[in-house]
Amino acid sequence: MKKAIYFYFLFFTLILNAQVKVISWNLENFGKSKSDSTIVFIANTVKDGDIVAIQEVVAGYGGAQAVARLADELNRKGSKWDYTISDPTTSSAYKTERYAFLWKTAKVKKIGDAWLEQKYNLEIDREPFFATFEYNKKQFTISNFHAITKSKQPETEIKYFKFLPTEYPDLNLIFLGDFNCPQSHTVFIPLRKMEYESVFFNQKTSLKKDCYNDDCLASEFDNIWYNKNKIKVVNSQVIPFYKFWSSLQEARKISDHIPIEMEFNIN
């Protein structure tokens, strides 16, 4: 009986570990302004992920250091983490930033160097940051992206994403980040025609300045797009971190966006 229970537990553990969990979070102005207690809170929020993609890392002094501080704090949580940070985005006349990936080294392996998109870096204001990971001898590439604000019409640069699967035909691409644009927008139709689907539908992810009748979320901006023929989504959720704070004003010191999460298998 004990042996049967042991093998059942082992099987269940293997099933759980057969999935990869990725978290995406726009950490508003992630840099030296984030206190040590804020870094600890962020680490506790994302520690159950296998890969964490961050948008809006400050390009100047303090941004790369904040990512290193977060990695150091995650390494205190029982798993070994590594990280990579992009160069500042190159073409932005609006606001140059960095991106970052952090990952559990025991779960996934980064393959080669991460890179900022080159071909469409003039058309896309803050060009996406790519990194390829390997899990269970299968590879996938995450494109980490922060679009221009809604008032500047992010669809004018998102439209170039339809060319990226052709530009990288050998890669299993996952597009994620802050699109400042809902998944229902017609700009995503070309991706849908290429068998891409969004993880979230009608899910608001940015914070209001004040809650009204427990309604604290403002706009449907953050999402994850994946090829349904190559990826099987097992679970997904948003992480309402603001509920741990007494007010939205306090929560917004962390970020004005909530993290989004996808757990998946590779077909």
Helix spans in the chain (H): 2-17, 36-46, 63-74, 155-158, 164-167, 189-193, 248-251
Q: 115: burial class by Cβ within 10 Å (0-12, 13-18, 19+)?
A: middle
Per-residue pLDDT, 160: 98
| Tokens standing for residue 91 | 């073409």
Q: How many residues does the chain have?
A: 267
| Total Cβ atoms within 10 A of residue 257 | 25
DSSP string, 96-153: -EEEEEEEETTT-EEEEEEEE--TTTTTSTT--EEEEEEETTEEEEEEEEEPPPGGG-
Calculate the CA 109 to chain-centre distance: 17
Per-residue pLDDT, 5: 52
Q: Give the DSSP H or E segment for 236.
A: strand 231-238
Calculate the CA 259 to chain-centre distance: 8
Q: Using CA atoms, how far apart are residues 70 and 67, in angstroms rounded to an integer?
A: 5
Q: Tell me: the pLDDT tens digits for 6-49?
A: 444 444 444 445 799 999 999 999 999 999 999 999 999 999 99
Per-residue pLDDT, 7: 46
In the block, residue with structure tokens 């904040």: 66
Query: First-to-last CA distance in the chain?
Result: 35
- C-alpha closest to that of 67 among 91, 15, 103: 103
Per-residue pLDDT, 18: 73
Per-residue pLDDT, 13: 42
- C-alpha closest to that of 60 among 6, 115, 98, 107: 98
Q: Using CA atoms, how far apart are residues 136 and 117, in angstroms rounded to an integer?
A: 26
Answer for the pair 42, 52: CB distance below 8 angstroms, yes or no.
no
Q: Using CA atoms, how far apart are residues 17 and 15, in angstroms rounded to an integer?
A: 5
Per-residue pLDDT, 20: 98
- C-alpha closest to that of 156 among 177, 182, 125: 125
Instruction: Give me the residues of the chain with pLDDT under 70, please.
Output: 1-17, 91-94
Q: Indicate the SS3 state at residue 226.
A: strand
pTM of the entire predicted model: 0.93
